[in-house]
Amino acid sequence: MLFNSSVFAIFLCIVFCLYWLVFKQTKQQNVLLLLASLFFYGWWDWRFLSLICFSSVLDFAIGLALQNTQIQSKRKWLLITSIVVNIGLLFTFKYYNFFVESFITVFQTFGINLNIQTLSIILPLGISFYTFQTLSYTIDVYKRVFEPTKDIIAFMAYISFFPQLVAGPIERASNLLPQFFKKRTFDKTFALEGLKIMLWGFFKKIVIADGISVLIDPIFKSPEQYNGATLAVAGMLFAVQIYADFSGYSEIAIGTARLFAFRLMKNFNYPYFASSIIEFWKRWHISLTSWFKDYIYIPLGGNRYGLQKQIINTCIIFIISGIWHGANITFILWGIAHAFFFIPGIFLRKKIYAIPAFVNSILLIGKIFYTNCIVILLWFLFRAESMKDVTIIFSKIFSSNIFHQSVEFPVYIYILTCIVFITEWFGRTYDFAIVGIANKAPRAIRWGVYYILIYTILYYFETPLQYIYFQF
């Protein structure tokens, strides 16, 4: 079920009314949220409900077993079981065919033909997200930083919580699970903030992201038919699209959760205002970046064993990040390329001398511009459908082809994009720009903006388009 669909609007209204008007006890609300979440997920393909239920029950049982044994060797085997099963399922559905095909290709270069069959399977929606969520639970219980729950309904509701189920934020049990045990009362102010966040998220998704998708998808599908200038503009628009699409989804998820008195973590912190690649990754997909840091980077040693080890660990994290995003060599190269530009920042973190304020402001603008140039350039690796397309795109944008006239894109898409980034620039000191700015604006202006946003969303709403991160 897509957020940007009329079906979701009906679903949300029904669940909201039942939640606050009928099921007023905490345990009753948890049962409702679990059933609603399973219905939400099953709407896409009911067959994969068994997969998410299996992962949830497995890690619930392992969590209790970890608490009930003090034998360290047994505890390690329980943790290994959770990791192997969860990663094994993820590998089978998401990566098996990729590695088999790559294996076959490598041997074919040496004239050896292997008869290995690939699997005809569908990638379960959101499997990367809920797998990481269940793994964080068992790892935290193993490390004794979190007490396992004995309430399987609350646990399964935490894993399958529909606002953030299929594309995050990837919530930690320490933040979200305790909220299922607290008595929840309707807070009008909190819910209204949620609606404002949702409204901004829908605007970014339906008006900006979907509007750009229609324009640039044909270009990336056949890059050989377009000149370098067109591809360069399409790349910049894709940078806007993926941000509007994914941050829009996260904001709808966060806003929806607030309607039910839940607080989800912030997943984006205005990443295109970052002044370095290091800062960009502190602002982009925060829940995933922090997950990699806490559960892979730090266990590998982090930056505790010298600069060389820190660089190696950083490379490992970015390679894993590339693989996590998709079963394609382009994603792996995207991760490696980010590591290449990330690592120099490790050497340049310390300021050597004080800089006058006005000079620092100019330098900041230059750093933001440079960072965005790098990020946009690397988005080509992320968006290209094959290495052949990558070669075509880069050969054209790094040639005289770049000076040719590009395809003319509608002016409105540039205007709407500017509105988004201007709004977020002036609201960048708040967690959510739309809420911070709205709270300071006069009532008449505030409601005028709301009506304009609603009208624009309805005007551009046509056939719902899938979120980009659903494929991951």
Please provide the DSSP assignment of 87-105 as one string: HHHHIIIIIHHHHHHHHHH
| pTM listed for this prediction | 0.91
Q: Say whether pLDDT at 419 is over 70.
A: yes
Is the confidence at residue 385, as pLDDT, over 80? yes
- Residue at 275 is within a domain: no
Residue at 285 is within a domain = no
pLDDT mean over 311-335: 90
More confident residue, 363 or 235: 235
pLDDT mean over 448-464: 86
- 426-432 mean pLDDT: 92
Angstrom distances, CA of residue 103 to CA of 24, 97, 334, 336, 355: 55, 10, 21, 20, 53
Final residue of a structural domain among 122, 152, 185:
185
Confidence of residue 402 (pLDDT cuts 50, 70, 90): confident
As a whole-number percent, the residues of the chain with pLDDT over 70 amount to 91
- Distance between CA atoms of residues 91 and 118, nearest Å: 13
**CA–CA separation, 146 vs 265, rounded Å?**
18
Average pLDDT over residues 233-238: 95
At 53, the amino acid letter reads: C
Q: Verify that 214 and 130 share a domain, yes or no.
A: no
Mean per-residue pLDDT of the chain? 89
Q: Does residue 466 sit in the same domain as residue 441?
A: yes
In contact, 349 and 258? CB cutoff 8 Å: no
**pLDDT value of position 117:** 66
Confidence of residue 205 (pLDDT cuts 50, 70, 90): very high
Above 70 in pLDDT, residue 350? Answer: no
Given a cut of 50, whether residue 296 has pLDDT beyond it is yes
Backbone angles phi, psi at 145, to 5 degrees: -100, -5
Residue 26 belongs to a domain: yes
- Residue 16, pLDDT > 80, answer yes
Q: Is the dihedral of CA 430, 434, 439, 440 positive or negative?
A: positive
321: DSSP letter: H
Are residue 173 and residue 237 in the same domain, yes or no?
A: no
Residue 310 covered by a domain:
no
How much of the chain, in percent, has pLDDT values that exceed 90?
68
* pLDDT of residue 352 exceeding 50: no
Tell me the per-residue pLDDT of 210-226, one tens digit each, with 9 for 90 and over: 999 999 999 999 999 99
Same domain, 381 and 404: yes
Final residue of a structural domain among 185, 203, 228: 185
Across the range 199-214, mean pLDDT stands at: 94
DSSP 123: P
pLDDT band at 438 (very low <50, low <70, confident <90, very high): confident
101 and 239 in a single domain? The answer is no
Domain boundary among 133, 156, 185: 185
Across residues 438-449, what is the average pLDDT? 86
Catalytic machinery residues: 325
Structure-token match 């905490």, residue found:
26
Mean pLDDT calculated for residue range 389-404: 89
Query: What is the reported pLDDT for 119?
Result: 61
- 130 assigned to some structural domain: yes
Mean pLDDT confidence for 148-162:
95
pLDDT of residue 4: 82
Do the domain assignments include residue 242?
yes
Residue 10 belongs to a domain: yes
Predicted local confidence at residue 399, as pLDDT: 87
177/245 same-domain check: no
Residue 147 DSSP class: P
**Cα separation, 247 vs 454, whole angstroms:** 18
pLDDT over 80 at 15, yes or no: yes
Q: Establish if 254 belongs to a structural domain.
A: yes
Q: Domain count of the chain?
A: 2
Q: Provide the 10 A C-beta neighbour count for residue 379.
A: 19
Expressed as residue numbers, the domain containing 10 is 6-185
Distance CA 231, CA 229 (A): 5
Ordered alpha helix ranges (H), 326-356? 329-347
Same domain assignment for residues 355 and 217: yes
Question: Who wins on pLDDT, 103 or 256?
Answer: 256
Q: Which residue has the higher pLDDT, 161 or 45?
A: 161
Q: What is the pLDDT of residues 123-153, one digit of tens each?
A: 777 888 999 999 999 999 999 999 999 999 9
Contact 31, 23 (CB under 8 A): yes
Instruction: Determine contact, residues 317/343, Cβ cutoff 8 Å.
Output: no
Q: Are 117 and 26 found together in one domain?
A: yes
Residues 159, 50 within the same domain: yes
| E strand or H helix that includes residue 360 | helix 357-383
Question: Does residue 103 carry a pLDDT above 70?
Answer: no
Please identify which residue in the block is written with the tokens 């991160």.
469
Higher pLDDT, 117 or 434: 434
If you average pLDDT over residues 290-294, what whole number do you get? 94
Rounded mean pLDDT, 398-405: 82
pLDDT at 115: 67
Give the confidence band of 85 by pLDDT, cuts at 50, 70, 90: very high
CA–CA distance, 51 with 159 (Å, rounded to integer): 12
Same domain, 181 and 257: no
Buried b (16+ CB within 10 A) or exposed e, 165-180: bbbbbbbbbeebbebb
Per-residue burial over 264-300, b if 16 or more Cβ lie within 10 Å, else e, is bbbbbebbbbbbbbbbbbebbbbbbbbbbeeeebeee
Residues 199 and 85 in one domain: no
> Are both 391 and 358 inside the same structural domain?
yes
